[in-house]
Amino acid sequence: MTSVGPGPTSPPAPTVHSSHGASFVEWGAVLAGAFLAAAISFVLLTFGTAIGLSATSPWPNAGVSAKVIASLAVFWAMAQQIGAFMAGGYVAGRMRSRWHEPTEHEVEFRDGLHGGLVWAVGVVIGAALFLSAAGNVAQTGAQIAGQAAAASTSDPMDAVLDTMVRPAPAQIGANTPPAPGAPGTSSGTRRTAQGGDETRAEMSRILASAVASGSMTEPNRTYLAQLVSQRAGIPQAEAEKRVNEALNEARAAADKARRAAVLTGFVTAASLILGLGAAWWAAHKGGHHRDNSIPARFDFDRRRSAPVR
């Protein structure tokens, strides 16, 4: 009688669980992946910020140009977010338990869904951190702005007003005695202190309203020109010319801010969409490595890796 030896061993079947009425979402794996993604994103953003600051310089002809820095910042913001969600999705897909899925497609969908949930939780965490950081930055910025107000201004409209009411070159250093009530006399100083800020605020509101509406009414244009003529000591025609130039500068500043906001929105949306795809794909890989006991690694070959024998 011939004995038959054992045949070739096959890889152990993946452990499956079945529970009627139980949820197929494992929030432990999702939260682990989301927190890992948030931590990686924070570290990479901090590193990128340090590199960007080291590449800039206030000295002329030193450091990298602003356009290059902006391009690198856009690339890094997208790359770090995609990489972070990819790592978090892989962890969630590999850590979730294998349930009694009827088909391989169902396995891939549930693994990918856990990666998508990592992305969703990570976006919520990132939004909360952003709002918290924005509040702290606003408070700190207000303090710094108050200390540096005498040296500089962060409002582009203030720079436009400074240019518009600047005295003419012939008026600077002139030995003309000030008129009663003009700046330089005691009464003029008090009047300037009381009404100077209000006048500038009113001029700023008129310019902002003209930029928002797309045009400036003739009464407002004439009124601004009269104010500029009085404060700068220039003829009415020259004042009207300055008003038109200031309006164009204000429009250019508003358009620049609009383009920056549009670019920021597009980059943020694109990186988030790509991050969702990266998290979903990485969760697929994590689930496949989990079921076949494959060490953690990434390859972009479309063929599924062979099981370990």
Q: Does the structure show a pLDDT above 90 at 70?
A: no
Q: Say which range, 142-146, 269-273, 284-288, 295-299, has the weakest mean pLDDT.
A: 142-146
* More confident call, 194 vs 120: 120
pLDDT band at 120 (very low <50, low <70, confident <90, very high): very high
Domain residue spans of the chain: 27-135+264-292, 156-166+191-256
Q: What percent of the chain has pLDDT over 90?
A: 17
Residue 119 has pLDDT above 90, yes or no: yes
Q: Is 29 exposed, middle or buried (0-12, 13-18, 19+ CB in 10 A)?
A: buried
For 90-100, write each residue's pLDDT tens digit. Answer: 999 999 887 77
Q: What is the mean pLDDT of residues 158-180?
A: 57
Q: Pick the residue with more confidence: 85 or 146?
A: 85
List, in order, residues 6 or more apart from 21 with CB less than 8 Å away.
none
Give just the sign of the alpha carbon dihedral 93, 95, 96, 100. positive
Segment 78-92 shows an average pLDDT of 93
Task: Read off the pLDDT band of 292 (50, 70, 90).
Answer: confident
Q: Which residue has the higher pLDDT, 166 or 261?
A: 261
Q: pLDDT-based confidence at 56, cuts 50/70/90?
A: confident
Report pLDDT digits (tens) over 9-55: 445 555 555 444 466 788 999 999 999 998 998 899 889 888 888 88
pLDDT band at 107 (very low <50, low <70, confident <90, very high): confident
242: pLDDT strictly greater than 70: yes
DSSP secondary structure, 274-288, as one string: HHHHHHHHHHHHHHH
Q: What is the mean pLDDT of residues 98-109?
A: 80
- The reported pLDDT for the residue numbered 139 is 54
Of 74-78, 95-99, 112-116, 272-276, the range with the lowest mean pLDDT is 95-99
For the segment 199-203, the average pLDDT, to the nearest whole number, is: 81
pLDDT at site 134: 52
Q: Which residue stretches of the chain are H helix?
A: 27-55, 66-95, 104-148, 156-164, 186-213, 218-232, 236-292
| pTM (global) more than 0.75 | no
* Rounded average pLDDT over 260-274: 89
CB 283 within 8 A of CB 277: no
| DSSP string of 129-174, one letter each residue | HHHHHHHHHHHHHHHHHHHHTTT--S-HHHHHHHHHTPPPTTTTT-
Q: Does residue 185 surpass a pLDDT of 60?
A: no
